[in-house]
Structure 1
Amino acid sequence: MATIIEQLAGFAADVDARTLPADVVRESQRILLDSLGCAVASLGDEGARRGVDYARYLGGTGGEASILGTGTKTSVPAAAFANAELINALDQDAVLPPGHVTPYVLPGALATAESLRVPGAKLLEAIAVAHEMSFRIGKATDYLRDIKDGVVTIPDVIGYSSTLFGAAAAVGVVKGLDAETLADALGIMGSTVPANTQRAWMMHAPSTTIKYQLAGGMALSAVTAANLAERGHTGDRQLLDDREYGFPRFIGTSRWEPAPITAGLGTEWTFTPFQSFKPYPHCRVMHALFDALTEIVETHDIRPDEIDAITAWGESFVLQPVWVNETIRNPRDAQFSMTHGLALAAHRIPPGKDWQTPEAVLDPSVLDLTKKSTFQAHPGYTEALKSDPAARRSRVEVQARGTTFAGERAYPKGSPSPDPATYLTDDELAAKFRHNVEGVVADPDAVVEAVFALDGTEDVSALLNLLR
């Protein structure tokens, strides 16, 4: 019987863009468009610049793969590193359980596709495979939010290393590797994945400027695994089947339910109903609150200096150091501080790259309002989460002008939900992209058009050239 890794490899090798469901193609295009915009928007970020500088050190400036938005060409491994750092830098990139997936799985495939000048359909196949595989393996392990004895808890060991099987597979798909070589790539990837260190990052605040796990390093490791397999290295194909010594043991997960990894594999696509996009460059836990808060201050034209207090109720599990931190030194701190995020949203700065400039983050008015903001667990959050994993019960109250203004949300904008209004439409996603690339990309509309026509493009490098 084929191992789980061999079944995943067979699935990846057999995917054909001509037979992909329309929603899978469209969602893959949307993921790509959003990621390109997030990357370009990050070019002014100090942390992202470190990643770009290191990539130039790693691969020079004479290769065949682009560092997005810079005009620099470098090696495939170096471009994968830089673009992963850029996509994730402002924390406005797409989210999919187990959390952030795209910044780890897209960059290697994108750089490889450009260097090989493959058709756009091949890149879309890789994006779809990477997200489907990452979602399925993520379901087998601990979730970021677990409900135990009626309480939402965080596992002792969490992280995004499980996404790297999909990342390595995506590179292999672009290269046209056969199922046998792909199985070796996944086996190599499984035995070389980084440790899941995210819980330490969450518990130590103020946090480091490297968040979650190093996005560039993770993307680079996927490129390495696929290329080593192509060159003849073999991988451990039993890693996902072996509970005692394999991946579930050494990655540190307390739950391993592998059945969803292969159930309907190749005939059922499962990731699209859970794919979300972020209007705000801030941790997703706050987005429903931002939706309600911005509606309040805009509807009633409330100035920041009129606000006496902001009180918010939201996700119950995030009363952890990285989120309750109010020591704001840089945009990385700001991306996760709940009270600072409320203060920033109340200033009505257009969501996007403008939120994470040092000037906005360290604005004395924002810092002053941070001190007037509080966050606590919403009493109905756990019950809502039990019934729908996308639910985010949130309430915010703004005290201003001697009056209390209140707003509530059940789901954040950008997430699929029973409320059609929360879906981020193609037009809204394109508007986010245009705002993010303003001043850098000469013709944003041409990029939008090229992405949504990618399945008919003969050479994906034509799209990347539009981002110079």
Structure 2
Amino acid sequence: MFGRQKEAFMSIARELSEAALNIRYDNLPTEVIRETKRLILDALSCAIGAFDAEPCRICREVAREHGGAGVATLIGERDKVSVSQAIIANETMVRYLDFNDVLYFPKSPGKIGGAHPSDALPAALAVGEREHASGKQVIAALVAAYETIGRIVDATAEGITTLGFHHGSVMPFAGAVIAGRLLGLDAGQMTNAMGIGASAAIGLGINDAEGEEYNNTKNIADGLMAERGVFAAYLARRGFTGPDRIIEGNKGFAHSLLRGVENYIVKPLPNDHYLMRTKMKFFPTESTNQGHLAATTLLVNEHGLKPDDIAEVVLRMSKRTVVHNGDPVKKYPRNKEGADHSAYFMTALAIVTGGRVVPSSFSDAAYADPVIHGLIEKVRLEHGPEYDAITPAALVTIRTTDGRVLAKRVDHPRGTPENRMSDSELRDKFVECAGERMTSDQIDQVVETCLALDTLDDIGALMPLLAVRSQHSHPGSAS
């Protein structure tokens, strides 16, 4: 699929474009098609779960205010806005709970290169709805986007974030690929779209950085960058040009964000697909928290542990998890954005909730809970070099007040490719996220439609099924 030997003058963006356009639904392995549909369902559950969150409500209100032509549906509503506004508002919902999928690769100790590929789903839904794309077309476009994202983040020597940029900086490429396929662009036009979008939409890492308190921008960043790639594709369709050498050119993407390792982007592809390496999340928390949180909940459930039973909790894990999620700024979080990235808070929350950590576990009351604060003081983080190459693996040791020492190691938490969630568990996740916003019959219909997405002649048929009953209804929305 890739190979620098093809044509010496061919740019990397052109190779990525040709590879993306060469993906055909009919040639995809059955397991890739099935997993793509499951990833779509997973991301939609995250969006529905975040529907009533204040940042998501604000984004939908702004989308309606500036929405333009009504061609793309806001998830959870029946209102339609412009493609651009729908992408931004819907991605904010997909991202808010930090429950959506992740694709990453351990690099040097303390570093990973990764992204959240499902942040590109709103682009596929918005463009697909406007262009009346079929379910098969959307599936193939998403596979192409996941492969493009995987190729770029796998190429980084230490991760894009090491140089101070946001991991969502790959999203202009994903947006260009998705829109390019669904708009019928050729390889030259898609290359232009990548150049236009990526040269004008690179994010700063401060929205996901140690030493900084998290805020609402964490949720919207990927959507803003994906939208630029989509907008660029519409420009390219009309003949607008961008830098062909956006990746390897002077002061381009590789020079600025990849330490000049662009050749890795086009090394021969492995036999599998990057999409199949994508991790779903069993808990609504940062990806490398998944291992130690799985171990903690197992210990809490197996031994019936209560807050008063805890003398000390030691989390032994990768350097990256210790540094990123053990950041002192996150020790006592004041919002969802900080809480789901705090190893301290998540451990205490798991104990207080009896091992059941779900989206509804997060609240202002939880952030101020003196019991949780007391448990946080009993949590100690420890770097285990043996876990650097296998993050999110972790060992949790709990010392109880009656002198017991309980330990549990988890290498592959639920949701990883080695320990995939079942369809039944995905439905359970959707139920947890939807809460009272959807009836059981409606949830069943959404699940069935997503898992049979390739039978849809028009992806737009999916969107009305997602309308919810919200506490923040407005004229024209579902109620």
Same fold (TM over 0.5): yes
C-alpha displacement at 1:431, in angstroms? 1.8
1:302 aligns with 2:317: no
Which residue is 1:131 aligned to?
146
- Aligned partner of 1:431: which letter? D
After TM superposition, the structure 1 stretch with the greater mean CA deviation from structure 2, 354-363 or 231-240, is 354-363
C-alpha displacement at 1:212, in angstroms? 8.0
Which residue is 1:150 aligned to?
none
C-alpha displacement at 1:155, in angstroms? 2.7
Which residue is 2:316 aligned to?
313
- The whole-number CA distance in structure 1 between the counterparts of 2:268 and 2:231 is 28
Check the 8 A contact 2:313/2:396 in 1, yes or no: no
Structure 1 pair 198/245, CA: closer, same or farther in 2 (3 Å)? closer
Structure 1 pair 369/264, CA: closer, same or farther in 2 (3 Å)? closer
Structure 1 pair 362/255, CA: closer, same or farther in 2 (3 Å)? farther
1:49 aligns with 2:67: no
Which residue is 1:140 aligned to?
155
Structure 1 pair 361/255, CA: closer, same or farther in 2 (3 Å)? farther
Structure 1 pair 235/121, CA: closer, same or farther in 2 (3 Å)? same
- The whole-number CA distance in structure 1 between the counterparts of 2:213 and 2:438 is 34
- Aligned partner of 1:56: which letter? R
Query: Per the alignment, in what secondary structure is the counterpart of residue 48 of structure 1?
Result: helix
- The whole-number CA distance in structure 2 between the counterparts of 1:52 and 1:143 is 36
Q: Deviations over 1:57-104 (max 9, x none)?
A: 3316x6121211133321110010011111110101000124233243
Query: Per the alignment, in what secondary structure is the counterpart of residue 258 of structure 1?
Result: helix
1:365 aligns with 2:392: no
Structure 1 pair 76/212, CA: closer, same or farther in 2 (3 Å)? closer
1:285 aligns with 2:288: yes
1:336 aligns with 2:336: no
Which residue is 2:326 aligned to?
323
Structure 1 pair 212/323, CA: closer, same or farther in 2 (3 Å)? farther
Query: Per the alignment, in what secondary structure is the counterpart of residue 214 of structure 1?
Result: helix
Check the 8 A contact 1:206/1:322 in 2, yes or no: no
C-alpha displacement at 1:173, in angstroms? 1.1
- The whole-number CA distance in structure 2 between the counterparts of 1:286 and 1:390 is 9
Structure 1 pair 192/269, CA: closer, same or farther in 2 (3 Å)? farther
| Correspondent of 2:429 among 426, 432, 451 | 432
Which residue is 2:131 aligned to?
116
C-alpha displacement at 1:367, in angstroms? 2.6
Structure 1 pair 323/218, CA: closer, same or farther in 2 (3 Å)? farther
Which residue is 1:82 aligned to?
89
Structure 1 pair 203/29, CA: closer, same or farther in 2 (3 Å)? same
Q: Deviations over 1:187-216 (max 9, x none)?
A: 212322314x22674133323332287123
C-alpha displacement at 1:393, in angstroms? 3.5
- The whole-number CA distance in structure 2 between the counterparts of 1:180 and 1:173 is 12
Q: How does 1:437-456 map to 2 (within 5 A)?
A: 437-442=434-439, 443-456=442-455
Paired positions, count: 445
Structure 1 pair 157/255, CA: closer, same or farther in 2 (3 Å)? farther
Tell me the TM-score normalised to structure 2 length: 0.86
Q: Deviations over 1:305-355 (max 9, x none)?
A: 332322211121244376322232111111111111100111236333213
Structure 1 pair 339/12, CA: closer, same or farther in 2 (3 Å)? same
- The whole-number CA distance in structure 1 between the counterparts of 2:269 and 2:343 is 40
Query: Per the alignment, in what secondary structure is the counterpart of residue 44 of structure 1?
Result: coil
Which residue is 2:410 aligned to?
409
- The whole-number CA distance in structure 2 between the counterparts of 1:70 and 1:368 is 41
1:14 aligns with 2:27: no
Check the 8 A contact 1:281/1:355 in 2, yes or no: no
After TM superposition, the structure 1 stretch with the greater mean CA deviation from structure 2, 456-465 or 432-441, is 432-441
C-alpha displacement at 1:390, in angstroms? 5.5
* Unpaired stretches in structure 1, ≥5 consecutive residues: 146-153
- The whole-number CA distance in structure 2 between the counterparts of 1:436 and 1:279 is 12
1:30 aligns with 2:43: no
Structure 1 pair 27/227, CA: closer, same or farther in 2 (3 Å)? same
Q: Deviations over 1:278-317 (max 9, x none)?
A: 0111111211111111111111111223323222111212
Query: Per the alignment, in what secondary structure is the counterpart of residue 326 of structure 2?
Result: helix
- The whole-number CA distance in structure 2 between the counterparts of 1:457 and 1:254 is 43
- Aligned partner of 1:427: which letter? S
Structure 1 pair 255/305, CA: closer, same or farther in 2 (3 Å)? farther
- The whole-number CA distance in structure 1 between the counterparts of 2:98 and 2:166 is 16
Tell me the TM-score normalised to structure 1 length: 0.88
| Correspondent of 2:234 among 215, 223, 227 | 227
- The whole-number CA distance in structure 1 between the counterparts of 2:438 and 2:130 is 21
Check the 8 A contact 2:13/2:244 in 1, yes or no: yes
C-alpha displacement at 1:363, in angstroms? 3.2
Structure 1 pair 464/404, CA: closer, same or farther in 2 (3 Å)? same
Which residue is 2:477 aligned to?
none
Structure 1 pair 206/271, CA: closer, same or farther in 2 (3 Å)? same
Structure 1 pair 431/255, CA: closer, same or farther in 2 (3 Å)? farther
C-alpha displacement at 1:180, in angstroms? 2.5
Structure 1 pair 462/398, CA: closer, same or farther in 2 (3 Å)? farther
Which residue is 1:66 aligned to?
73
Which residue is 1:94 aligned to?
101
Check the 8 A contact 2:207/2:215 in 1, yes or no: no
Query: Per the alignment, in what secondary structure is the counterpart of residue 208 of structure 1?
Result: coil
- The whole-number CA distance in structure 1 between the counterparts of 2:444 and 2:219 is 33
C-alpha displacement at 1:157, in angstroms? 3.2
- The whole-number CA distance in structure 2 between the counterparts of 1:359 and 1:131 is 38
Q: Deviations over 1:115-135 (max 9, x none)?
A: 222211011011100000110
1:214 aligns with 2:229: no
| Identity over aligned pairs, percent | 27
- The whole-number CA distance in structure 2 between the counterparts of 1:157 and 1:413 is 31
Check the 8 A contact 2:134/2:459 in 1, yes or no: yes
Query: Per the alignment, in what secondary structure is the counterpart of residue 217 of structure 2?
Result: coil
- Aligned partner of 2:434: which letter? V
After TM superposition, the structure 1 stretch with the greater mean CA deviation from structure 2, 397-406 or 230-239, is 397-406
- The whole-number CA distance in structure 2 between the counterparts of 1:286 and 1:75 is 36
- The whole-number CA distance in structure 1 between the counterparts of 2:397 and 2:287 is 16
- The whole-number CA distance in structure 1 between the counterparts of 2:103 and 2:124 is 18
C-alpha displacement at 1:262, in angstroms? 5.6
After TM superposition, the structure 1 stretch with the greater mean CA deviation from structure 2, 200-209 or 451-460, is 200-209
